[in-house]
A = this chain, B = another copy of it.
Amino acid sequence: MNVAGRPMRTIWLAGDGRTVEIIDQTRLPHELVIVRLRTLNDAARAIRDMQVRGAPLIGATAAYGMALAVGEDPSDDAIERAAATLAATRPTAVNLAWALAEMRCTLAPLHPRERFAAARKRAGAIADEDVAINRAIGEHGLALIWAAFVAKPGEAAVQILTHCNAGWLAAVDWGTALAPVYRAHNAGIPLHLWVDETRPRNQGASLTAWELGQHGVPHTVIADNAGGHLMRRGDVDLCIVGTDRTTATGDVANKIGTYLKALAAHDNGVPFYVALPSPTIDWTLDDGDKIPIERRDPREVSHIAGWRDDGERVEVRLTPTGSPAANFAFDVTPARLVTALVTERGVCPASRDGLLGLFPERRRNGAA
């Protein structure tokens, strides 16, 4: 998507054809800093320090990290060590493990001399595949936004609420939840987004607001508490969010607070859409409540970082020193509250039958 009028991705092969460049997302929204990754360790650090985040982008960075490692040492041992190093950066990211396995399968049968070129090529393909999947999600989701637009009187902007960051900054380009938004905006449909700030890590206030603003999509940042009020007033035409994991029955785990917005959408007859690339479907799980929920550092609740007028990034304490805090990273929204799932293959009901309709190869022998 655009940054200051120029198309950009979150990760790309640098002009030298050997090193890799990324946007340092820890500096957003106040500074656009491009960081060059020259070594395996640079790539591992970028993932660990969350300069890159979002499951698809972590996968792409790991793939490029393997390519950088092979550039340093193309031996079998070095490839194993590199995969282990990268696998240890973020323990829970599914795409990370998948990308590392892909790279090892690509490289194993090759002569060490052929490996660097093959690694760069496969890493680039992994990034391009992510872009293609998300572009397809955008196409399918566009129809939903178009339907909301034609249902409104006059040329009124479609009011869309989103939670957390499921935009292009979480992927290589387009994003998941925001892919339909960018596609609709590019197609000239008037839009306005309500952006949940998304405490405690504020990915909405910092990342979603920044990327929408850079691409020129009208938006307003709100406290996470505000969405229910807006829906009651009729100021939201649809909600669209991403997901970290979807069960085979259509339950979705996503950033903490998603469930509350789904409840409000249901109570007010507002469509609640969840956009996802199919690799995040966990076909082995039938019940969202079995998804383990990460508990993170309570300091993300008790403290917050922001920017002073002089540009300095400062972390401040919000709670009394004697008060404990708890930090639950995700919640589960049951399928009954999800109007539809938006995947790269199309839109379907949030149910086993809905998902199997789009992914019939997952049908087990005779069973639905």
A318 and B306 in contact (CB under 8 A), knowing A210-B323, A221-B325, A222-B326? Answer: yes
A321 to chain B, nearest CB (A): 8
* CB atoms of B263 and A331 under 8 A apart: no
CB nearest neighbor in B for A311: B317
Give the interface centre of A212, A230, A232, A319 by most chain B CB atoms within 10 Å: A319
Q: Is the CB of B324 within 8 A of A221?
A: yes
A98 within 8 A of B: no
Q: Is A199 a contact partner of B221 (Cβ separation < 8 A)? A: no
Question: What are the 8 tightest A-B residue pairs by CB atom distance, in nearest-first order?
Answer: A225-B257, A306-B316, A29-B320, A229-B331, A209-B323, A263-B263, A199-B223, A228-B259
Q: Give the interface SS of chain A, mostly helix, strand, loop or mixed.
A: mixed
Q: A257 CB to closest chain B CB, in angstroms?
A: 3
- A118 close to chain B: CB less than 8 A: no
Residues 93-127 of A, flagged 1 when their CB comes within 8 A of B and 0 if not, give 00000000000000000000000000000000000
Interface presence of A206 (CB below 8 A): yes
Given contacts A202-B318, A304-B306, A320-B29, contact A332 B259 (CB under 8 A): no
Contacts of A30 in B (CB 8 A): 317, 320-321
Complex Cα distance, B162 from A293, in Å, reads 23
* A307: chain B residues within 8 A (beta carbon): 316-317
Shortest distance from the beta carbon of A63 to any chain B beta carbon, whole Å:
30
B residues near A320, Cβ cutoff 8 Å: 29-30, 206, 209-210, 213
Contacting pair A213 B322 (CB below 8 A): yes
CB–CB A209/B319 < 8 A? yes
Residue A244 is within 8 A (CB to CB) of chain B in the complex: no
Q: With an 8 A cutoff between CB atoms, is A260 at the interface? A: yes
| Alpha-carbon gap, A309 to B317, bound state (A) | 8
Contact A256 B319 (CB under 8 A): no
Chain B residues near A318: list those with CB within 8 A: 197, 202, 205-206, 304, 306
